[in-house]
Structure 1
């Protein structure tokens, strides 16, 4: 089961995939094209390469963060909430509305600061190993790492009103975000695309 109204569009998802997969190769191509005459003289223009790569890493991290959000949002009953600190997460209306005690998230560890999207995941999925139905009951926090081509995903497993454990993994270029999430959680994650409508919002 998924929340059909949370589907994304082919334009949004396609654009994010292009940025995710091609920002870093484009940085190398741009460096090579603009430095070709210097490279022949063994002047490698490394400062220029580093600058291009930092921009590419930033874009790749943001796109990984957005793509990962799309995968989780389709299994969320509500839009994600953008936070910049752990105190914002603890006061999130998502925790209050969907019956999660904030202090239990804190007890298993919260990111301290930085941009992060908070999702309340509650849905019925399919186990990736056995193909059996499995209940997804998580709070998920997604953070772009910005200076690295990666996004951090922290999954808090919920039992009753409590977060009982935390699992953290990373969606890192050039690995497929959907494959990384599926392997990490042993639940099949796919993106839901429709011809119109909006993406995951924030």
Structure 2
């Protein structure tokens, strides 16, 4: 089961999908094309390359952040909360609305700073291996790392109002955000896009 009202559109998903996979190759192609005459003379224009890659890493990280959020939002009963600090995370709507233990959350450890979205994941999904219904009950923080082509995902296991466990992992380019989520949560992740004629899994 997913929250069908949380579907995205082909344009939005496709835009971030293309940026995620093509930003870094495009930066390398652009560097090579603009520096070809210098490269032939063994002047590799490394400052130019580093500038292009830094911009590409920033774009890739933000795109991975958005794609990961799209996958998670389908399993969240409420919108994610945007935060920049740890104090915002512990006072965010997904924590307060569901009366989750702030003390447990702080003891488990919360990311200190950075663009983050907090999701309350509460749903039933199919297990990755056997396809059996599996309960998902988590608080999840997605944090863009910006200077590297990756995002950090921090998952807190929830039991009642208690936070009883924590796991951190990374979605690193060029690995698929959906596949990384499947491997770490043990359930199948898909994305539903709405084209105006109905939802389509991707």
Instruction: Identify the TM-score tier after normalising by the shorter chain.
Output: over 0.9
Matched residue, 2:65: 65
C-alpha separation in 1, matches of 2:32 and 2:83:
39
Please provide the CA RMSD for this pair: 1.1
Give the Å deviation of 1:108.
0.9
> Which ranges of 4 or more aligned residues in structure 1 deviate by more than 4 Å?
none
| 1:11-50 to 2 correspondences below 5 Å | 11-50=11-50
Shift in Å at residue 99 of structure 1?
A: 2.7
Shift of 1:129: 1.6
Taking the aligned partners of 2:94 and 2:110, their CA distance within structure 1 comes to 16
TM-score (structure 1 length as normaliser): 0.95
Aligned residues, how many? Answer: 197
Distance 2:85 2:24 in 1: 29
Segments of 5+ residues of structure 2 without an aligned counterpart are 197-202
CA distance in 2, matches of 1:2, 1:105: 26
Q: Match of 1:102? A: 102
Shift, 1:111, TM fit: 0.4
| Aligned-partner Cα distance in 1 for 2:9–2:121 | 21
State the shift of 1:151 in Å. Answer: 0.4
List aligned pairs for 1:139-178, cutoff 5 A: 139-178=139-178
Residue deviations 1:34-69 (CA, integer Å, cap 9, x gap): 001111111100000000000000000000000000
Provide the TM-score with structure 2 as the length reference: 0.95
CA distance in 1, matches of 2:4, 2:40: 55
Q: Which residue of 1 aligns with 2:124?
A: 124
Deviation at 1:22, TM superposition (A): 0.3
